[in-house]
Structure 1
């Protein structure tokens, strides 16, 4: 069974919980449409009333969070895009992708998500990483941008390169900002504790290089 990650977190002084998710792949076959969640009455359900216009196809890899009945909640971020597609797809159309422990080089790069970026580079000392990031809230709202109502957040840290697929750290200047990262194939999944910027700013989300 797939596990759930709460995407919007209350503020906390504690480090965020490890990211619980699975990497899955769409099996060969017809288009697999996303279905709406609880924001639409009677959903999620594998019905025409719940079906959205967006879809994925065989070979697409997604992050799976939670299975419920015949559906699984997933996130898909297309290469070159910063806007994830989220919804529910038929569990029967998914297969788990076996994961191997990532190399240090698998972490390196510029990772882009929705209103946030995380850059991971090699640190000044051998065997270390430097992590930097920027996030906003409201930057995609033209009216908010016009009136100067965009909120911002930043993070930075130097730490040993991880030996597995996860790492956790506190910002080097704002120690109450705590972040957990996990590599899932082509994705970097982040979770913060809600203290990494202005109101509503978060690094929590799904990223791709």
Structure 2
């Protein structure tokens, strides 16, 4: 009889549910690395819906302690990346900040997939940490010139730049700098009416300088 508690504990351990599969990262900085194709969506009817963070692993985004203070309301437009179960990784740009996090997929009305192929224009990130100037070339390629900065907490500033070309395939394009292949490379995807998602190869400038971000096209007449 003394072995009974031990046997019961052993059986309980065997019958315990498996650990929930860890969700992939969903946060600022890593959002542009998604390779599955971005979509646009709108928050559907209902109460305000809060973002959920992606950590700690195994608990978020579904855990009760994962809810963020930031929230969206019906009608807000969002940029969608990868899914994890009943959650979707979302980027949102408000009037004072951009935010990335998990939202319940059931609250998002996904728009039909589109492939806008108009890359030309001047593009900038939400906080103007990077900018890109894209121009059409006569042979069907596009030329991209850009600059990016990173500001350290000690006041130091690192900079980077890109000067390259590429040939778009529908709404995607790879931009390479001329040379031996060790320069800055960008992968760009057009989404919606005025968004451009950019991911780089981490060879575009000084320490921590990245072009990875979501860009908006600068309306004509508002640039420098």
Give the TM-score, by structure 2 length: 0.70
Which residue is 2:212 aligned to?
Answer: 204
Matched, 1:93 2:107: yes
Q: Distance in 2 between matches of 1:101 and 1:22?
A: 10
**Does the aligned pair in 1 maintain the 2:164–2:177 contact within 8 Å?**
yes
Q: Per-residue deviation at 1:196?
A: 0.8
**Does the aligned pair in 1 maintain the 2:125–2:215 contact within 8 Å?**
yes
Q: Distance in 2 between matches of 1:20 and 1:127?
A: 23
> Which of 146, 156, 179 in structure 2 is aligned with 1:133?
146
Q: Distance in 2 between matches of 1:29 and 1:174?
A: 54
**Does the aligned pair in 2 maintain the 1:156–1:173 contact within 8 Å?**
no
Partner of 1:134: helix, strand, or coil? strand
How many residues align structurally? 189
Which residue is 2:50 aligned to?
Answer: 33
> Which of 122, 127, 140 in structure 2 is aligned with 1:109?
122
Q: Distance in 2 between matches of 1:129 and 1:18?
A: 21
Matched, 1:21 2:38: yes
Q: Distance in 2 between matches of 1:63 and 1:174?
A: 35
**Does the aligned pair in 2 maintain the 1:117–1:134 contact within 8 Å?**
yes
> Which of 159, 162, 180 in structure 2 is aligned with 1:155?
162
Q: Mark the CA change 1:66 to 1:110 in structure 2 (over 3 Å): closer, same or farther.
A: closer
Which residue is 2:13 aligned to?
Answer: none
Which residue is 1:12 aligned to?
Answer: none
Cα distance per residue 1:161-200 (max 9 Å; x no partner): x351101011247842111000111321111111111111
Q: Distance in 2 between matches of 1:30 and 1:207?
A: 29
Q: Mark the CA change 1:40 to 1:55 in structure 2 (over 3 Å): closer, same or farther.
A: farther
Which residue is 1:62 aligned to?
Answer: 78
Greater Rg over alpha carbons, structure: 2
Q: Mark the CA change 1:71 to 1:36 in structure 2 (over 3 Å): closer, same or farther.
A: same
Q: Which runs of 5+ in 2 are unaligned?
A: 1-23, 218-224
> Which of 172, 189, 202 in structure 2 is aligned with 1:194?
202
Q: Distance in 2 between matches of 1:181 and 1:152?
A: 20
Give the TM-score, by structure 1 length: 0.74
**Does the aligned pair in 2 maintain the 1:130–1:157 contact within 8 Å?**
yes
Which residue is 2:172 aligned to?
Answer: 166
Asked which structure has the greater RCO (Cα within 8 Å, sep 6+), the reply is: 1
Q: Distance in 1 between matches of 2:136 and 2:122?
A: 10
Q: Which runs of 5+ in 1 are unaligned?
A: 10-15
